[in-house]
Structure 1
């Protein structure tokens, strides 16, 4: 699941209503997974690092699941005891190297405004692999966070050594013209567009060049 800066209680309820299953990029956790014990803190580091080492994704602390399907929103946590800053500190202090661009969203539970759910969006990291607090490297696999094999650690570490180019595009200044056809009564509408392409390198490794092919479909 991609990063979403507009997480709301309604969107979480939609996940439950639509029975959106856990996946490589989505994990539901009981809010009791957040706690001050070393065991719970280590589990947080394990789960968050696994997402960063894999495809990125979202962990929701506050939705109970059954057979990998969301069951209900639970009682949440007291933000005075488990704050956003506390969760950030646990993640940053127990995972090496630090994962960039993690976003944590506190969602107030409408039926109990003194409690919150935490949604944690984790990007796929170009600085992987990241080590959990137990000195192991984890990955996401079959709804779980599992230790990585040695060859997987080597493979993930190559992310930082190669450019990661992402192409985006948008259209500006669209103009519609009528193109005369052989039969005047049948005219075609032709759109002249200003197509802008942007190539962004999401890796720390510079790219020497980029090659883009654009294909059109003729009628």
Structure 2
């Protein structure tokens, strides 16, 4: 799942007052599992199916919460004290109360003073999973499990019929020229689904004044217009899977396609910061934006925040 691993009591203690609940992380005091009531069972299944129906995540039983700035932060260790609650018992409850049967999860047991901590790591599912305790479908909204609308359920179920490709970007520092610092934008497309992505198009927007391209623009990597985002001018570039010889740069299930390796003969996108004109743009903390279109899947949109690409 590509998420942080929590395997020791030290890993859990390190969360205290530092890490907040999020779309992929949830804390619960151990008392929530006492006697494994119907309510506890329903809440457990709601949480794990919500993670499976979203992007995956981690549920930690045995850790209290502290409210601060309208967020729930990890608090003191609050272990599960009911000795009848075990890894096998939790696994049986999850398997027995999900439809279809949820199997993409692991449970780690961590001994704690007076009881246990259980870390349930859930993978993103390839379809929508129902909580059979209350017959509802759940997903993660911000930092909680919420019932899903019908259109959202259908969209998740379509994961089995559509490629599931995600994009990620970062910058690589390339050195400095005088007062300027340069960064090269690099990215990956990862097929996390079960179907091959045969045709795709990726649009990337970099801010004018600080952004440019170096090298040759070709049919399968070229400029794609200009526009304004958050009040700033941006230039768009488009990468295409189709090549001039009729071939398509497909992405197999589980495969990660590196843009630089596969578009090495085309221009690369560069960000330069440091000059007075560039500084005025930098004061606006400009992000890099992207849009991804894959076969019959819905359009994806994302961004690389300024704080993640610029260390100037």
Q: TM-score, normalised by structure 2?
A: 0.53
User: Does structure 1 conserve the Cα–Cα contact (< 8 Å) formed by 2:189 and 2:259?
Assistant: no
Give me the whole-angstrom Cα distance separating, in 1, the residues matched to 2:31 and 2:22.
21
Structure 1, unmatched stretches of 5+, are: 168-197
Selected match of 2:78 from 65, 74, 78: 74
Show the counterpart of 2:282.
Answer: none
Show the counterpart of 1:205.
Answer: 195
Show the counterpart of 1:136.
Answer: 136
Show the counterpart of 1:13.
Answer: 13
Compute the displacement of 1:37 (Å): 1.7
- Provide Cα deviations, 1:73-100, integer angstroms capped at 9, x if missing partner: 013334x410100000111111111223
Selected match of 2:106 from 103, 106, 110: 103
Structure 2, unmatched stretches of 5+, are: 168-187, 199-249, 252-256, 271-312
Map 1:10-49 to 2 at 5 A.
10-17=10-17, 19-34=18-33, 35-49=35-49
Show the counterpart of 2:160.
Answer: 160
User: Does structure 1 conserve the Cα–Cα contact (< 8 Å) formed by 2:20 and 2:74?
Assistant: yes
Compute the displacement of 1:212 (Å): 5.3
1:91 aligns with 2:94: yes
User: Does structure 1 conserve the Cα–Cα contact (< 8 Å) formed by 2:29 and 2:79?
Assistant: no
Distance 1:202 1:20, change over 3 A: same
Give me the whole-angstrom Cα distance separating, in 2, the residues matched to 1:201 and 1:139.
21
- Provide Cα deviations, 1:172-192, integer angstroms capped at 9, x if missing partner: xxxxxxxxxxxxxxxxxxxxx
Give me the whole-angstrom Cα distance separating, in 1, the residues matched to 2:58 and 2:104.
13
Distance 1:145 1:6, change over 3 A: closer
SS of residue in 2 equivalent to 1:65: strand
Give me the whole-angstrom Cα distance separating, in 2, the residues matched to 1:120 and 1:16.
18
Q: TM-score, normalised by structure 1?
A: 0.73
Compute the displacement of 1:124 (Å): 1.2
Larger relative strand fraction? 2
Show the counterpart of 1:122.
Answer: 122
Distance 1:200 1:144, change over 3 A: closer
Asked which structure has the greater RCO (Cα within 8 Å, sep 6+), the reply is: 1
User: Does structure 2 conserve the Cα–Cα contact (< 8 Å) formed by 1:31 and 1:76?
Assistant: yes
Give me the whole-angstrom Cα distance separating, in 2, the residues matched to 1:6 and 1:30.
16
Give me the whole-angstrom Cα distance separating, in 1, the residues matched to 2:79 and 2:44.
19
Compute the displacement of 1:117 (Å): 0.4
Give me the whole-angstrom Cα distance separating, in 2, the residues matched to 1:6 and 1:37.
26
Compute the displacement of 1:21 (Å): 0.6
Compute the displacement of 1:71 (Å): 1.6
